[in-house]
Structure 1
Amino acid sequence: MKNRPGIRSSLLRPNIVNARGVGVVASGGDMRNVTVYVGTGRTEGEFEDLRTGSERARVERWQASAKWKDEAFTQHFLPKARASVRSDGATWDFTGRQEALRRIATWLAGSTNNRSGLIVSGGPGSGKTAVLGLVATLADPDHHPNVPQDRVGVGEEALPRSHSFTVVVYAAGLKADVVIDALSHAHRSASSATPVVLIDAVDESDDPNLLVDAVVKPLLMDGSVRLVLGMRTELASRLGDLCDVVDLDGDFADPEGMRRHIEHALLQATEASPFRGLPATVSQVAEGIARVAGPSFLVGRLLSQMLAGLPEPPVLRPGWEEELPRLPGEILERDLTERLGHEKAAQALDLLRPLAFAEGNGLPYEDIWAALAGRMARRSYDHTSLQWLRKHVGSYAVRSTDQGHDVYRPHHLSLTEHLRRVPDPQAVHRCFVDFLVEHTPLRADGTRDWRRASFYTRAYLATHIAKAGGHDVLNELVLDPAYLLDAIPHRLLGALDGHRLPADRDMTEVRTAINAYRQAAADFRRSTPDLRPAALDLAVSTHDARTLRSRMEPVPDSSPWKARWVDMRPRRSCYTLTRLTGEITRMTAFTYAGDRHLAVASTKGEIEVWNVDVGQRVIRGTVVNGQRVTGLDMVVGNGRVFMATSSATEVELWDMFRGKQPLCSRPVDNAGYDSETTAVAFAEVGGDLLLFCLSDGLSLYRFDVLRATPLPPLCLDRACDFMRSNASVAVTAVAGRLSAVVSDWYGVMVIDLETGRTRQCSGGSGYARGIQIVPGTDPPQFLVGQNSHRIFRLHPNQAPQQIRTCPESVCDVDVRTRNGDTFVVAGYDYCERPLEVFSLTRPDVAVSDFYDTRSAVSQVRVMELRHGHVVIAAGERSGTVRIWDFPEVPE
């Protein structure tokens, strides 16, 4: 693999095409090198390395890529580029936007004054995808001839060069990893020139914030790839000065183009338009609609289509346009009501709503749509209902394809968002799950035959289960090999991440089947479907999943490989406890009512408390005004659970189950330069439960917890020398005095919690992060993880002892004593193996095979759950908290 200077090596991972999902990525340029990404995509090059090398296979893959490339434009870019006002979508009605098109063409030509990124931004319905779809179509030599340039009005100066884009991405529904795959392919496909990648619908991707922060920003700062990005204005503002901007609602708004588009829609939207032959009326109505629509071409077109469907033009009395609806959803309901009446309008909305909640490219027509709509609305709908809908309301539902099947979805994301506004979205997804399960045929023995289920059920049932908050049918699915082989891996894994097994019965076979599928799914993503049976067979044998094995058919002889015998250690298993939007900054574990709980906090002030024993969230909220939570501690006292949180400016004390307001709070006076750091800790002093808050000033703030009152601060003889946002604290007795052991720039500082006297304890070079007390040591010894990629063992009166050299900066540490041995759990910054368990007494005993991909573990906690089950909670910088089984290690 070539590695051009300036490209981040982390983006250059081996990739393979897998044609599943919502978003589409199509490469431009020579069709012999084309790659199309649909859903979870990877690249063409590794096809040659991992498959049989027959000429026929290569031809079939080339033909498949060509087909997917054509589908990419047919389903996404061409319809938007046409901007057709007719329900059949066949006519080219794109109008205006010449200044925007010229600016994009100039940027693509490569002026030295341009930044490495160009954002085409605007609000919902401003026409971002229409503009970018037209540019992508004009730049593609296979589709350029389809554009009637005279009708569209594209001048020579607005034409992009042929092959302007190395790769084109429609990112709706795509994970950030898939976009990375596309960028990797762009790098490999480009010759000496810098690759140019178009990514549209960034704000509709699986995780827009992650895509922008973890993929787009680094590439823009690196400058090794030129990016054209389509996204809404709010998200575009996060990229600051890194990109040039074409704001379709601002400097590049086109009121004249809007007016002409509205006039055209008034005349052409229906064959029976009441505006034909009335040019003066058309002009007046167009002016009124344009004033209402503002910069939104979508609102302008929907209003025009609504009025064109009426028997008569509106009465043009003064201010008539003020009565027009202004939002797409309002236009939808007004249009349906005026044309169909209230009862029929309600039925039309019933039939459209399932489309808004559908996964993939849309909902199949077949025998699912009507029956599902009836179940959701508690009415009776059938095939004739859909025929009626297509005849009278067809423009609001557009046809697409998914895995060769016709599917339907709402005309625009704004309409989808409107139709999703229901009191309980989870209940809608539960309805999907129940219907799809009941809709699956049964075998003679009464079990469901998932191989005969609809393609939509096999592909997307797992996602509906995840969005429904879980479903017991998942235990049945993971024991059915036919379903596992045909499911989309990342969707089923997403459902398994949040799945909780019941604790009141033996679920060993289900658990081993889940672990086997996790292993197989990693291979599924790197292989074609014909290799899946062998990969699943290998994983089932590795994990000894007996029930699943008994139901599997033998691996076909035609398989390129199969395992004859297995002597492998199973991969580690985990599940996702929760995902916050900010990075995990603090975690603390405690026991309440016999159950182990975990509290987690983030950079965005989010707090969640989970009962890990039963897998339920018990508290969710935001504290300290949404600021980064730098300190978090929990304590159980007097039958109550208290929580302390702190930020750079404030410390708060909470009675966790008895109110939504803090018991008391106090501003923090940080004396340190550019400080963001405070830390909190509970301790019992003289029989009183106290809360201590440490900052890098000379005051140690104290609260009487049970009385919920502040106490006079304790004056320190020396300020803590924190590193920004990385304060850690542990409370223990040192030389018979209750003390706080606090992370410091060069080790730890020991603070007497009664007198305020301090003592420095050297910890080697580098600033300290995680701190833990080594069990069974007197005087106490401390484990300190440092940014210098090392872990030290600190003795109060001796030189520090380095015990581990780590692959990256150490973010946190925890300890666990087991069978006379002491194990350290360490979380590291971004690296291939960010979580490690090793023995203090046997340095050669270590386990680090937890993660399959690069990650960063910012917090770790070891917890013993019910029945002695020991787990590791790993909080990540991505905001995810995963629960891993504590590894078995040799005695």
Structure 2
Amino acid sequence: MGGAVAAMAELSGTDDPRPITVVLWLTVAVLAFALPVTVLLTRSRQDRRRHGAEAVGELRRHFLTRGRGVTPSSFRRQWYFTGRERALRELSAWLAGELPGDHRTRVVTGGPGAGKSAVLGRVVTFGFPALRREVPAGQTPADAGLVPPPGSVHCVVHARGRTADQVAADIGRNVGRPVGTALELLAVPHRDAGRPVRGIVIDGVDEAQDPEHLITELLEPLAAGAAAWRIRLLLGLRTGADRSLLRRFGPYLLEVPLDDPGYFDRADLSEYARRCLLAEGEPGVSSPYRKRPELAARVAAAVAQRAGTNFLIVQLTCVTLAALPEATDASPEQFPDSVGAAMERYLAAFGAERRTARDLLVPLAFAQGAGLSDPVVWAALATALGTARYTEQDVAWLLGERRAVHLLTRADDASRLFHEALGEHLRAAVAERTGVRAAHRLITRTLIDHVPPGPDWLAAGKYVRLHLAAHASAAGQVTELLLDPLFLIATDPDEVIGVLPINERAEGRPSPELQDVIDVVLRAGRTLFVRNDAERAAYLQMAARKLGAEELAGRLAALPLALPWSVPWARWRTITAGAGLIGSQNEYVRRLSVGAQLIVACSDNSLGVWRLTAEGIHPVLLPERLRGLLSAAPVPGAVITVHTDGSLLRHDVVSGEVQPWTPKVGVDQLDYCAPITFQGRDLLVLGGASHVRLWDPVDDKPAGPLMQLPPGSSLLDAATCTGRPLVLTDLAGRVRAFDLAAGDPYGESFLAFDDTIADLDGPVWSGALGEADGHVVAVVAGRGDRPIVRYDLDTGGRLGGDLASPGIATMSLAVGYGLLGAGGADGRLKLWSWPAGEPIGHDVAAHEGGIDSVAVLELNRETVVVTGGRDGATRVWWPRDSAARTKDDLSTGQLLRMRVGGKERLLATTGDDLLLLDPGDGRTIATRPAPNRGRDTLGRYLGPGPGNVAITMADGTVHLIDAATLKTRRRFTAAGPDDIAALATAPGRVLVVTRTGMLQIWDPARPRPIRTVEVGPGVWNMVAINGIALAPGRDTIAAVVLDTGQPSAERLAAGCPLSSSIYRIVTGKITGRGVAVGIGASSHVHVWDATKGTLLVDTIIDDGHRMALSDAVVAPLHGRDVVVTGGYAGAIAIWDLDGRVGEVIELGSPVWSLAVVGGDTIVAGGPSGLIAITLGRDAVLTDRARRDLGVRLLGS
């Protein structure tokens, strides 16, 4: 794997992996579906062979022809390009490296026909080696400064009709580092400073399938990181009247505006027209002007005068004139002055066939993506939109007609108009006659009529599957299509997701049935991408089951598809009603801040901003790509962002302009930025590795002294309390506040927790400042087994009793406006009154995944809570609505499969209850109270004595119960309240580990333990194998012989070869051999022979996340012995020891426990509930894994 990673180090970069804090509790990560690097490298060799010739052919069609100054399908062979010398000179010098250190992206702009593609074509033709070789002798300018040096351009892409992922894939393929998505490209490591700079040219940015998405998801991050990646990025786009596309690049670009008078010389236009009219050296082109150069020069000047600055008008006009039988000396007023007029004059040359040619070209004006390829569909669209009936023979005529071919560009057997301005003209004519929506209705109906009966969307043509949704949306007729589950499966996911909000605006409020579809598609989200049809159906069904959309789930299950797996049932937590979803991003919302009448949501690469007014909350900036965000904070009229490369940016919330912000703060390695109001001013707290400072962003000057912090301190919160601007810090559990105005520590420091629990992430995970009765109060929290505590910094004592964590861990805290809010790693929001600490309502199911940020604000004299989650959502909550209980909350800590009364059953712990479930449908058969927030509280008791299940309770007792009735048959007290860390069983024995690290070996018939052995703290799981108790903790595995209580010398107890923390061990049999499977951090897995103790597997499961695993089960699926693992990232991996089985299924929420039932079904439990996944036979009964997870037997 190291070699593969090294191979990816050429292009771009990710930062070092974050500590385990980020590893734990994650939901679906942004790169959840990145292919293994080894697979990518294999695909690299295949793609480069397959795509080499066709890629050069595409470049020749677009860039070389425009660099020559001819249309893509022109029969002309000579070089007609002239002019644009200033633009070419500037770009050539930049690409040649004559401006060292200038990595700003160059963007060539101009109106339709201004010659953007011609300029880029010229650059590519001479700078890209594959095309430079085709330049004939004599065509290289005498002035070498007008063309870039050979080899200065390494990657060339035409973005027309392409998605961000497709453009990223083209870039990767061009530079020999293949990727599948934009995120994969952006995740490749930075290049060393000594490596050559790569030139990347992308034309037609505004003609991409979604230009805004292309810029925000790929091009802007590339521009921002150009220096670190050592690239020079050159783009071509039309800016539009509002220049919104250009503004999305922020400060990382330099515009080359071809419409600016400084970049235009009318003599260039005249010379280009003269060359086109003369057509010298073109034996295959006849022109009446060839032997009349004086007339050609006079007409060229007249044509150029009418064309203004537009080369396309000149090109079309001169091609038309050159095709006439006789030369004309018409006055300038008779020549066209617009693209539309030039095209009409060109079409007039068709004579009696003019109407036919126009009607056949109109469908191309409306075509999406690469254009039309099926002549039958093309003819039908021409009939629907035109003035006569057409057949595929008419399409064949058009493609064979020399005059028509000049207007087209062809690739992959698909045809488009060669210039977008031609399409705009033809669309405008149709719109004037029928209206745009009516035209799209005709297109929609025609495309549907050409789908095989059913309709069988899976058998539909490529164009229908890719683009019907867009046409139907523009027609206001997408609802009926969205209600067809097969359409959802067959259609490009980008298209489906893209039309959902459009549908809501265009077709009114959705019906309940349509709302189910919208909710399901949005819940499925990115799981719909890079999957085949059957997998897409499975993920949609999963989302439907989670949301309780049973009818849609059933219809998906009934589709004629062999699903790799299906979801027969789910008991999944739904988001509590009453929330306002104000934003959604493709990454976790790591930080929220409120100030200057703004809400700011910050993720690693996205920013969302909303304005607070008397009317409500209004977006002012949609979440946009801003690579490497560390922190963000509002200031009056703007937002300040801090980035991983050390830069700071100021985003104006009125104009949208983005500018570098360079205050002389004096803080090294600045990574913290928070708003604070002090003495009526909106200020900033800026902090870094060892310093923090109060700063005035309006006057751009210090508002307090530069303060040095103890090395290694982390900043928890900043707030004004009792009139002082304070910052709260943590250093290995020691919490301290500092007065930013005075420059001194404030109050008493304190140790956050007085327990002895070992924690790799440190004890304090979140903190907040508030005030009570004139005193400053610090609130801190950590892991789920630690409380939320309040300390009075003025007296040095605790304020009131401790508060219960929201579960798993308290990731975020906020105090304000009489409220304390706590966000949990399981997506729960808990609210209390402040400072009394009285609970307000029930826990709120706020997010699917952890809540990294909470903020409290006042809106229209009402307290409001804002949360940012790892599901990418930013939500607003009104405490008055928190009385509503979450529907069907079945947060599951542990699952245990058993035979009860001859039937297969599941026991499930919820923290409050023990449930007996039917695994066939998830129905509850019986329940009993069983309070215990631990994870390993349940075990099968093997007797002798009554009861067949052992379970621990929060009061420190252990109960032996009857699984059929859930009634207690015997009980004993093993520890104090909440002091049991783990439970296991062995024949005739119950094993208990306390939180202080003591192993108790019990015979349930006796009043006290047989033996007590110290195994050390940090043990959360235990298993008994062959009379030996194994207790994994930290970097060692304690082994104790049950009969003697003495340490065991078994090799299995020697620790973890990868020096990773193994905190859970499970046992089972694979092909008749007993095995022990150990799981831990970063997806580390170890498999031992349970009898011999020898190590069989030592690896990292390559499930796309590499985050902490929480459970494993060894069991047969469809008769094949496999291991199933799941963890905090929400992914289930299925694998065997010899690499023949490999499957990953994304659940989207942490997995705490797993069970295999029915021989074909996996049941997963976690904080969001329970879900059953039934695997198809082909998922496991193959000799080749569907996905290589990197599992190999040692020595194989």
Higher relative contact order structure (alpha carbons within 8 Å, sequence separation ≥ 6) = 2
Structure 1 Cα separation of the partners of residues 697 and 75 of structure 2: 56
**In structure 2, do the counterparts of structure 1 residues 208 and 490 end up closer, same or farther at CA, with 3 Å as the change threshold?**
closer
**Preserved CA contact (<8 Å) 1:197 1:226:** yes
Structure 2 Cα separation of the partners of residues 530 and 61 of structure 1: 25
Residue 201 (str. 1) matches residue 204 (str. 2): yes
2:66 to 80, 86, 89: 80
Residue 372 (str. 1) matches residue 392 (str. 2): no
Structure 1 Cα separation of the partners of residues 881 and 67 of structure 2: 58
**In structure 2, do the counterparts of structure 1 residues 498 and 150 end up closer, same or farther at CA, with 3 Å as the change threshold?**
same
Which runs of structure 2 are paired with 1:814-825 in the superposition (5 Å)? 821-822=841-842
Aligned to 2:130, what secondary structure does the other structure show? coil
Structure 1 Cα separation of the partners of residues 46 and 102 of structure 2: 40
Structure 1 Cα separation of the partners of residues 778 and 422 of structure 2: 63
Structure 1 Cα separation of the partners of residues 60 and 404 of structure 2: 19
Residue 448 (str. 1) matches residue 467 (str. 2): no
* 2:289 alignment counterpart: 275
**In structure 2, do the counterparts of structure 1 residues 536 and 347 end up closer, same or farther at CA, with 3 Å as the change threshold?**
same
* 2:526 alignment counterpart: 522
**Preserved CA contact (<8 Å) 1:114 1:244:** no
The one-letter amino acid of 2:369's match is G
Structure 2 Cα separation of the partners of residues 528 and 64 of structure 1: 21
* 2:310 alignment counterpart: 296
* 2:221 alignment counterpart: 215
**In structure 2, do the counterparts of structure 1 residues 570 and 353 end up closer, same or farther at CA, with 3 Å as the change threshold?**
farther
Shift of 1:88: 3.6
Aligned to 1:457, what secondary structure does the other structure show? helix
Higher mean displacement: 112-121 or 817-826: 817-826
**In structure 2, do the counterparts of structure 1 residues 151 and 587 end up closer, same or farther at CA, with 3 Å as the change threshold?**
same
Structure 1 Cα separation of the partners of residues 295 and 473 of structure 2: 52
Aligned to 2:82, what secondary structure does the other structure show? coil
Aligned to 1:368, what secondary structure does the other structure show? helix
If you compute each CA radius of gyration, which structure gives the higher value, 1 or 2? 2
Residue 363 (str. 1) matches residue 361 (str. 2): no
**In structure 2, do the counterparts of structure 1 residues 10 and 823 end up closer, same or farther at CA, with 3 Å as the change threshold?**
farther
Aligned to 2:409, what secondary structure does the other structure show? strand
**Preserved CA contact (<8 Å) 1:586 1:859:** no
Identity of aligned residues (%): 23
* 1:171 alignment counterpart: 159
Shift of 1:135: 2.6
Aligned to 2:478, what secondary structure does the other structure show? coil
**Preserved CA contact (<8 Å) 1:498 1:575:** no
Residue 600 (str. 1) matches residue 618 (str. 2): yes
Structure 1: unaligned runs, 5 residues or longer: 14-41, 557-561, 591-597, 605-626, 631-646, 650-695, 698-717, 728-743, 749-759, 767-787, 839-845, 871-883
* 1:585 alignment counterpart: 610
Could you tell me the TM-score, scaled by structure 2's length?
0.45
Structure 1 Cα separation of the partners of residues 844 and 294 of structure 2: 81
Residue 431 (str. 1) matches residue 442 (str. 2): yes
* 1:657 alignment counterpart: none
Which runs of structure 2 are paired with 1:379-528 in the superposition (5 Å)? 379-383=388-392, 385-386=394-395, 389=398, 391=401, 394-395=404-405, 397-401=407-411, 404=412, 406-421=413-428, 422=431, 424-442=435-453, 447-477=454-484, 479-480=485-486, 483-500=487-504, 507=513, 522-523=526-527, 525-526=529-530
Aligned to 1:150, what secondary structure does the other structure show? coil
Structure 2 Cα separation of the partners of residues 432 and 513 of structure 1: 24
Structure 2 Cα separation of the partners of residues 185 and 314 of structure 1: 55
**In structure 2, do the counterparts of structure 1 residues 427 and 792 end up closer, same or farther at CA, with 3 Å as the change threshold?**
farther
Q: Residue by residue, what CA displacement relative to the aligned partner does 1:146-186 show, whole Å, maximum 9, x if unpaired?
A: 33242575765555444423433323344556666748649
Structure 1 Cα separation of the partners of residues 502 and 580 of structure 2: 6
**In structure 2, do the counterparts of structure 1 residues 802 and 247 end up closer, same or farther at CA, with 3 Å as the change threshold?**
same
**In structure 2, do the counterparts of structure 1 residues 116 and 570 end up closer, same or farther at CA, with 3 Å as the change threshold?**
farther
Which runs of structure 2 are paired with 1:737-752 in the superposition (5 Å)? 746-747=719-720
Aligned to 2:295, what secondary structure does the other structure show? helix
Structure 1 Cα separation of the partners of residues 868 and 82 of structure 2: 61
The one-letter amino acid of 2:296's match is V
The one-letter amino acid of 2:681's match is D
* 1:306 alignment counterpart: 320
Shift of 1:460: 0.9
Residue 336 (str. 1) matches residue 296 (str. 2): no
Q: Residue by residue, what CA displacement relative to the aligned partner does 1:404-440 show, whole Å, maximum 9, x if unpaired?
A: 4x22222212222333333543333333222212221
The one-letter amino acid of 1:313's match is A
* 2:946 alignment counterpart: none
Structure 2 Cα separation of the partners of residues 283 and 132 of structure 1: 27
1:9 to 8, 11, 14: 14
**Preserved CA contact (<8 Å) 2:557 2:566:** no
**Preserved CA contact (<8 Å) 2:850 2:870:** no
Residue 231 (str. 1) matches residue 237 (str. 2): yes
**In structure 2, do the counterparts of structure 1 residues 439 and 144 end up closer, same or farther at CA, with 3 Å as the change threshold?**
same
Residue 132 (str. 1) matches residue 120 (str. 2): yes
**Preserved CA contact (<8 Å) 1:835 1:850:** no
**Preserved CA contact (<8 Å) 1:265 1:301:** yes
Shift of 1:96: 2.3
* 2:1096 alignment counterpart: none
**In structure 2, do the counterparts of structure 1 residues 356 and 314 end up closer, same or farther at CA, with 3 Å as the change threshold?**
same
Structure 2 Cα separation of the partners of residues 299 and 215 of structure 1: 36
The one-letter amino acid of 1:327's match is S
**In structure 2, do the counterparts of structure 1 residues 356 and 648 end up closer, same or farther at CA, with 3 Å as the change threshold?**
closer
The one-letter amino acid of 2:559's match is R
* 2:561 alignment counterpart: 553
Shift of 1:132: 1.7
**In structure 2, do the counterparts of structure 1 residues 889 and 164 end up closer, same or farther at CA, with 3 Å as the change threshold?**
same
Structure 2 Cα separation of the partners of residues 504 and 244 of structure 1: 44
1:141 to 118, 124, 129: 129
Aligned to 2:236, what secondary structure does the other structure show? strand
Could you tell me the TM-score, scaled by structure 1's length?
0.58
Structure 2: unaligned runs, 5 residues or longer: 19-30, 172-181, 586-605, 623-635, 640-652, 656-675, 685-695, 699-716, 729-764, 782-809, 822-828, 833-838, 857-866, 888-1147, 1149-1165, 1171-1196
* 2:706 alignment counterpart: none
* 1:287 alignment counterpart: 301
Residue 107 (str. 1) matches residue 94 (str. 2): yes
Aligned to 2:558, what secondary structure does the other structure show? helix
**In structure 2, do the counterparts of structure 1 residues 162 and 152 end up closer, same or farther at CA, with 3 Å as the change threshold?**
closer
**Preserved CA contact (<8 Å) 1:763 1:792:** no
Q: Residue by residue, what CA displacement relative to the aligned partner does 1:182-218 show, whole Å, maximum 9, x if unpaired?
A: 4864965967234332232333342359827943653
Shift of 1:305: 1.8
**Preserved CA contact (<8 Å) 2:278 2:290:** yes
Which protein is richer in helix relative to its size? 1
Which protein is richer in strand relative to its size? 2
Structure 1 Cα separation of the partners of residues 191 and 537 of structure 2: 35
2:681 to 716, 721, 744: 721
